[in-house]
Amino acid sequence: MSDPAARADLTKRQLPSMTLAKGIESLPLAAQAHIASTSDDSSTRFEVSGVAVVTGGLGTIALTVVRALLQHGLTGLMLLDLDVSSDSSKTKVEELKEEFPGRKIETESVDVTDEEAVAKVMATAAEKLGGIDYLLCFAGIVNCTHALELSPKVFRKLLDVNTTGSFICAQAAAKHMVKANAGGRIVFIASISAHRVNYPQPQVAYNTSKGALLMLKSSLAAEWAQYGITVNSVSPGYMDTILNEGEGLADARKSWADRNPNGRMGKPEELSGTILLLCSKAGSYINGGDIVVDGGGVGILAIGLLASFVYERIDLIQSFYYNAPSRLTKVNNIGRYEIKFQDQIRSCEDVLLIEEYHLALLACDPGRERHNTVMGVFAGNVSNNAELWAYDYENTSGPDAESLKKINVNGFPHANDFHTLGMAFDLKSSTLFVASHAQAGSRVEHFTFDIASLTATYVQTIQHPLLNGPNSIAIINEHEFYVTNDHYILKKDSFLFSNLETYLGTPTGTVVHVNLKDSEINAKVVARVPFANGIEIINSSTVAVASSSRAGVYLFNTPNATTFKQTSKIRLPFLPDNLSTSGGKLMIAGHGHLPALAKFTHSRRICNDPFEYERADVSAKEACSTLEAVSWVSEWSESEGLKHLYVDTEYPSSSTVVRDAGKGVGIITGLYAKEQPIDGLVHANENSVPFPFPFPFPFLFLFLFLSSVVNGLKPDPISFQPNDHGSQLKCHVLAAPNEVLRIITGNASESLLDEKLPHAPPPYNDLKSMALTCRRFNYFATENLYSCVDLSTDDAFLRLYRTFRDRLELRTHCTQLMLRVGQNLPQEQGLNWDILFDKASTGLPPGLDDSDKAKPFLDIVFWCIVWLKNIQSLAMSGKWFSGKSGLIAYILSVASIPGRKLERIAFTEDSDSESSPVNLNMLPFWLEIITHDIKHLKIAWGHSPREPLLDVSSDCSQPYVL
C-alpha cells in the first residue's frame, strides 16, 4: 500500500468482538421461561405459547406446520406471502380461523427481499398481536436450469429470496425480540440440497442459496444467543406436495422414491413435529443446529452415491477386464471382406450413405494420429487438414480410382483449419452439415452438396456458445439438426479436467437442437448425456444417443423436436462411438477396451514421428508393433436385442458402421492403424453383409504427392525440351504410371523395386531409394514431414531440425522465403524477393556455405515449407542443385500440398556453367506435382542474359496437358 497514512489507519483497526451469553441467569426473564425444566410434564414440554410470524405462510407445508403450532397453544399468527388477497388465499385463511376460533390470525402481502416492507409488517405484527416470539421462514423459490444456460439475473434472484430474504426477515424480527427482552425462536427452512447435489435435476442456484442459508443460521445463532434467541434450520427431503405432482414429474417422483430407503416421499405432517420441537421448551438447548428430515437419504448418501456410480458404469468397468486384447473373444458375423483404396484414405471418423445413389460420403482427417479431435483440437499446430470423399460402392469391379473420389469444396474459407468429425446430409434439400473441431474454435460447417459433380459448396459457418465441442450430427430437415457435444471442458483448455470428465462419466455432454430458420442460429440443450457421441434419429419419435463414458446408448422419446424424455438405455460391453440405422436396426460401432485404446493412440504419436521415435526408449519403440486396440461392431433392435457382428484387434478402433441392406454392402471406418500400412476398403461376396474398411495408415510421403494425380493416367511421362516453354506451357499435369505408383507406396519387396523401377523413366530411380528408406522407418508424422533419405545416420539434419523446431514463430510471420547456399542470389527480372529467411536471420549453424552441406540444408528447406504454411514466394540458389533432382522434386511436392499459399517459385544457379543444374527429364514430373495454386515458376542458371530454361506465369485455373 503506497499511502502511509492509509496503511497506518488500516493497522490501527480493531475488529468488533462477539459477545457470548454468560449463563442462564444473564438471559432475560421472559426468555428463561421458555427453557426446559424439571417441572415440565407431558402437557407443557411441547407447549407453544405466544405469537408466530410465518413467511411463505400460505404454502402447503407452512399451513400444515402452523396448524400443529396452533394445536399446541399458539395464540397469535401473522401469515406473510406475496399475495394474500387472492380468492384461494382468503379461503385458506378463513378455514384456519374457523378451525381455531379465538386465535388472532392476520395476513399481510410482502416481498421478503424488500427490507422496508418487511420491517413494516414486522412492526404491524408486534403491534397487532402483542409481540413476536417465533419466526418461521418458509418463503423460497426454486429453479431447474442447467448452469450453462442460467442467467446471472436468475441466480441472484434465488439468492435474494432464499438467503438474503431470510436474513432480512430474521433481522427485523430479532430487533423486536431484543427490544421486548423476551428471547425468541427462529427457524429457517433449508433443504437436503444444502447437503448434497440432488441429481439429476440441475439446481445450482437453489443448492447454493440453501447451502448459504446453513451458514447464515449458524452465524446468527452464535451472535444472538446472548439475547435468548435460538436460530436453527430444518432440511426437508422430497415432500409429497402439489408442487411435485403432475404427469411431467412422474419419472422424477419415481426416481426420488427409489433412491430413498423408505421407498417414498415425505408428507408435510412429518415435518411438523421437528419444527414443534425447535419452538417448544423441549428444544431450548438446540441452537445453530440443522435437522435433516428426509427418511434417511443423507445418512446413506455415501453408500448410495458409490453404488449408483458403480452401477451406471459397471459395463465399462467390466470391459476393462474382459475386453483386454489378450482375453478378447473374437467375433466375425460379417463374412468375407476385402481391403481397398490402398494409400488413399485414412483417419475417417464418420461415413454416411446416400442409398438412392449407392454413394458413401466419408469425412477423413489425415492429421488425426497427431492431434485429438475429441474434446477439441489438442495439438498446437496441425498442418494436415480434413478431406471429404465420395465412394461409389456399386462400382466395385473397376479400378479403385473410379469408385473413390475426393469431393470438391467450393468457396470454403476455412480449408486451412478443417478437422472433421460427424456429418449429416438431407437428400431433399442437398444440405450437408459437417462438424469441425477447428483450432480457431469448434463449429459446424454448412454446405450444399451436388451429387452429380461431387461438389460441396460452402453456405455458412455455424458457431454458437452451446456448440463447444460438436461431435456427431443428426439432421431433421434443411433448417434443423441435432448435434452432440462430447465434452464441456475441451482438452486444449485443460488436459486434467477433460480427462476427468471422460473417466468419471459426468453428465456434461449435451445434445443441442439447432434451428437455422429466419437467418438466425437458435440453439437449445435438449438432453445431457455423459460423453455424448453418436446420435441417430431412429424414427419420428425416437432418438438414440451414444454415451462413450457410460458404455451405452440412451433412447429418448421426442414428442416434439425440442423435448427429449429418456425411455431406456441399451447396455453395451464396449464404448460406443457413432450410430446409424439399417433395415430397422440400430448399427453401433465403438472401442472395446479403453485402456488399450489410450495406450495405442499415445504410441501412434511416437511411432509416427521420426524425431519422437528417435528419442523414445526401447519399450516405447517395441510398443509400436506390439500394442493392439479393439474394434467392436454390433446391431440392435427392440425385438431381437443386441447382436455382435465384428470383434477383433486386426483393424484398431472402429468409429462408424453403415450398411445398405438392399445392396448387401457395409462400411466400417477406423481411426488408427498398426505399424504396417493398412489402407483401403474391404468387400465381401457372401450373403452376409460385406463391410468395406477404410482404415488409416502410418503416413507415407510418396503417397501424398502422387495421390493428387491418380486420374487421367498415361503410360509414360512426356519428354520435355528446353525450347518448349512460356507461350505454349500453362500448368502441366502429368500422371505417374499407376503400376509404379503402387510399387513405391505399397509393400513391394526390394527385388521388385529393382526389377520395375530401373525401367521407369526419371525421376523414379531417385524415388526408389526414398521409398526404401521411408519404408524402413514407416512412421511419418503429417505435421512435420521432412526428408527420409539417409535419415538414420544424418545427425546433422537432426541437429538442424531441433534448431528450427524451437523457432516456431516463423510459422505465422514468414510469407516469403529465400534460401541460399554459396553465392548470393542474383536479382531476377520481374521477381523481387524479400529476404525474410536466410542464414543471418535464422541463426543457422556455421558451415552451410559449403556445398557439401547442401543435403542437410535442403532438408531444412523442406521442413520449413511444411511448417510455414503462409509462404507465398520461394527462391533458392546454390551450386548444390546438381544431382539433387529427386530432392528438389519432393520439396516442390510439399509446396504444392492443398492449403499452402505458395504462388511463386524460382530456382537459380549462380554459376556461368553451361551445364544444366538439374535433369531436364525431371521437369514434367515437377509440373505434374505442382498444383494450380502455383502462379509463377522460374528455373534459370548463370548470370548471362540468356532466356531462362523455364518461365511459366498464368492463372493456372485449368490444367493444360501437352
Residue ranges at the known binding site for Ca(2+): 350, 421, 471, 533, 577-578
CA–CA distance, 756 with 585 (Å, rounded to integer): 49
The SS3 call for residue 139 is: coil
Q: Can you count the helices (H) and strands (E) in the chain?
A: 27, 36
CA-to-CA distance for 741 and 710, rounded, in angstroms? Answer: 9
Alpha-carbon 69 to chain mean position: 55
Q: How far apart are CA 100 and CA 92, in angstroms?
A: 13
DSSP letter for each residue of 680-711: B-----SSSPP----B---B-HHHHHHGGG-S
- CB-count exposure of residue 455 (10 Å: 0-12, 13-18, 19+): middle
Instruction: Determine contact, residues 235/293, Cβ cutoff 8 Å.
Output: yes
Q: Which amino acid is at 439?
A: Q
Asked if residues 914 and 946 have their Cβ atoms less than 8 Å apart, the reply is no
Query: Pick the catalytic residue: 419, 513, 591, 732?
Result: 419
Is 513 a known active-site residue? Answer: no
> Residue 519, class by beta-carbon neighbours within 10 Å (0-12 exposed, 13-18 middle, 19+ buried)?
exposed
440-447: which pairs have CB atoms within 8 A and are 24 or more residues apart? 440/414, 442/376, 442/467, 442/468, 442/469, 442/470, 442/490, 443/414, 443/467, 443/470, 444/470, 444/473, 444/483, 444/514, 445/412, 445/414, 445/418, 446/516, 447/409, 447/412
- Could you tell me which residues are beta bridge partners of residue 817? 874
State the burial class of residue 399 (Cβ atoms within 10 Å of its Cβ: 0-12, 13-18, 19+).
exposed
- N-term to C-term CA, the chain: 80
- In one letter, which amino acid is 787? S
Backbone angles phi, psi at 303, to 5 degrees: -65, -40
Do 668 and 631 form a contact (C-beta atoms < 8 A)? yes
Question: Using only C-alpha atoms, what is the Rg of the chain?
Answer: 38
For residues 661 and 646, give the distance between their C-alpha atoms in angstroms, rounded to a whole number.
17
User: For residue 926, which amino acid is it?
Assistant: W
Contact 141, 157 (CB under 8 A): yes
Contact between 86 and 109 under an 8 Å Cβ cutoff? The reply is no
Rounded Cα distance, 959 and 956, in Å: 6
Q: Which residues are annotated as a binding site?
A: 350, 421, 471, 533, 577-578
Cα distance between residue 263 and residue 258, in whole Å: 5
Dihedral Cα 530, 535, 537, 538, nearest 10 deg: -80
Report d(CA 152, CA 174) in Å as an integer.
31
DSSP state of 18: P
Q: What are phi and psi of 472, to 5 degrees?
A: -120, 155
Q: How many Å apart are CA 694 and CA 713, to the nearest integer? A: 23
Distance (Å, whole) CA 489 – CA 147: 14
Peptide bond before 715: cis, by omega within 30 degrees of 0?
Answer: no
Q: Which residues are catalytic?
A: 419
